Amino acid sequence: MFGTAYIPKFLGASIFFVLLFPLHGGAKKEAEKKPLNPEWILTITAFDVSDLPQARQSIGTLLTRKLVQELNSIAHRIRVNREYTFYQEYARSQGRNEAAKRLSAKWGERDALLFQGDPEWRYKKKLKALNKEIRKLEEELKSAEEEIPAIAPEPEFKLSERNQAEEFPAPPQAGLEYQFCLGEKSDAFITGKGVEFHGRLYFTLRLYTRYSQSFEYEDGVIFSIEDTQEGVRELADRVSAAVSGEKPAAVVVHGTPKDAVILLDDSFAGSGEVGPLEHPPGILRVDSFADEHQPLSTSLELHPGELAELYINLQPLSKEALAVTVPDESARLYRGALYLGQTPLDVEIPGGEDFFFHVETPDGKTGSGIHRGGTGSSALFLQTNIPPAAGEGRVAKARRQFYGSWARFWIALPTAFLLQGLSDSQVSAYRNTGYASLYETAQSGQVISIGAWVVFGLVTAEVIYRTVVYIRTAGKTPDPLEQKQIK
């Protein structure tokens, strides 16, 4: 069918494809080889809240739910060198043990040939086959001893199957942490405890990892019952950063002047020189202000393991001279609550701002006024007179009582809502589980919630009453003696 001229070409093409296919298959097999330990599994245990009052033990459940919510947002964990080496040695040991077991079993089959009673020809045939398999297994054992397995440097993060089913096992006893991880098929677990500390709540969390065989991370936060949501969120954020494997960042702020107040994410950090302070990686908001200086607000991006330094130099406000005079030559002059000296007096104030001035004379006269910045005026004249006493005293008292009732109102309202929420969660827990132990807790929570709403009702009634009294007192005409004192 083919001419002799085509035979060499046909043979060459055949040899090429024969050599190509094994190489292609080996490359494909090599490409399909994936790193070991592609998942990092965490178990969250039930938190110990036995030392908390029953009305506050539900906060442990709130913290658990917040942890699950935060941790579910983690996609991968970054393995540190020590952890990577642990799983590498673990995989190498497992591979070596499995290869040794297969070789030992095959040697057992070889030794058993002597007792099977086969004819010599069949015995030699089986012996030859087993020797061939043994040599192959010996090569596999040697390869397992020399091979350095590849471990996933950023495994996929997952919660354990029990946690995904909203089950939280009891934490292990001391000394049994490693066995607990093996039993839960987890790489780590989190345990926590809540106690009451001088009317506040103090929660601590600890993270145990298999590779370190110890609690490698521990953190805690103290918060009041009103700040429960904020305290739980802060602790969950810290644990989330520790679990993800990200190293915390640190920041140092150099503020000028030395009394410049430094705020980090709206929290007071210090004055002047601040840090180094640890902070989770991400965007950090920095605010600074000082008397008679322009305030400053800026943002700073923090990276894992980075020490960031920020230099803040607040610019002083422009000054203007102001001459303050009163009809009486000898009067004490105050700017707000700050005593400045005796009038007449020239004072320096930041330009473009409004300031309140107050004077007092030795014979009891008072006067006050506001200097408005940007008007171009460099003088302020304050008229003095005898202050009204009785009538204004009644108005001031009514005003204080009015403001005090409103303060109590804004304390009672969120407290009532908070206790109502806790009570509803306890009742819901009892209805969902039916546990008798939760019945008394739910009943106590309802009583406390009802009491809080009763207190809120009384405070609301007081607000209405104080408002009416304040309006009537402020609108009442002074008696003749008071009018004389005012004049």
- In the three-class reduction of DSSP (H, G, I as helix; E, B as strand; rest coil), residue 275 is classed as strand
Q: Find the mean pLDDT for residues 211-224.
A: 84
- Of 219, 279, 205, residue with least CA distance to 246: 279
Q: Residue 98: how many CA atoms within 13 Å on its side-chain side?
A: 9
**CB burial of residue 330 (10 Å; 0-12, 13-18, 19+):** exposed
Q: Where are the beta strands (DSSP E) in 15-73?
A: 39-44
User: Residue 309: which region, alpha, beta or left (left: phi > 0; alpha: psi -120 to 50)?
Assistant: beta
Position 345 confidence tier, pLDDT thresholds 50, 70, 90: confident
Cα–Cα distance, 343 to 328 (Å, whole number): 8
Fold of 249-313: Immunoglobulin-like (2.60.40)
- Could you tell me the CA-to-CA distances from 293 to 113, 233, 375 in Å, in that order? 96, 35, 20
As a CATH number, domain 39-78+154-244 is: 3.40.50.10070
pLDDT above 70 for 25 = no
pLDDT at 11: 44
Q: Quick check: 352 and 375 in contact, CB under 8 A?
A: no
- In the three-class reduction of DSSP (H, G, I as helix; E, B as strand; rest coil), residue 79 is classed as coil
pLDDT at 484: 39
Q: Find the mean pLDDT for residues 31-39.
A: 73
- Of 377, 380, 379, 378, residue with least CA distance to 368: 380
pLDDT above 80 for 351 = no
pLDDT above 80 for 248 = no
- Residue carrying the six token digits 């009451």: 196
Cα–Cα distance, 98 to 464 (Å, whole number): 81
Bond before 257 cis per omega within 30 degrees: yes
pLDDT at 393: 66
- Angle, nearest 10°, between helix axes 437-475 and 390-433? 160
User: Tell me: the pLDDT tens digits for 169-182?
Assistant: 999 998 899 999 99
pLDDT above 90 for 139 = no
Q: Is the dihedral of CA 238, 244, 247, 250 positive or negative?
A: negative
Please report, as a single letter, which amino acid is at residue 362. P
pLDDT at 53: 84
Mean pLDDT over all residues of the chain? Answer: 79
Cα–Cα distance, 487 to 479 (Å, whole number): 13
**CB burial of residue 486 (10 Å; 0-12, 13-18, 19+):** middle
Residue 337's CB is within 10 A of a number of other CB atoms, namely 7
User: Tell me: the pLDDT tens digits for 36-68?
Assistant: 888 889 999 988 988 888 878 888 888 888 888
Q: Which H or E element spans position 104?
A: helix 81-112
Cα–Cα distance, 336 to 54 (Å, whole number): 49
Which one is predicted more confidently, 365 or 417?
Answer: 417
Q: What is the pTM of this model?
A: 0.43
User: Tell me: the pLDDT tens digits for 155-164?
Assistant: 888 899 888 8
Q: Find the mean pLDDT for residues 109-134.
A: 84
pLDDT at 27: 44
Can you give the residue ranges of every domain in the chain?
A: 39-78+154-244, 81-146, 249-313, 319-381, 390-486
- In the three-class reduction of DSSP (H, G, I as helix; E, B as strand; rest coil), residue 431 is classed as helix
User: Tell me: the pLDDT tens digits for 403-461?
Assistant: 888 888 889 888 888 888 888 888 887 788 777 777 778 888 888 889 888 998 998 99
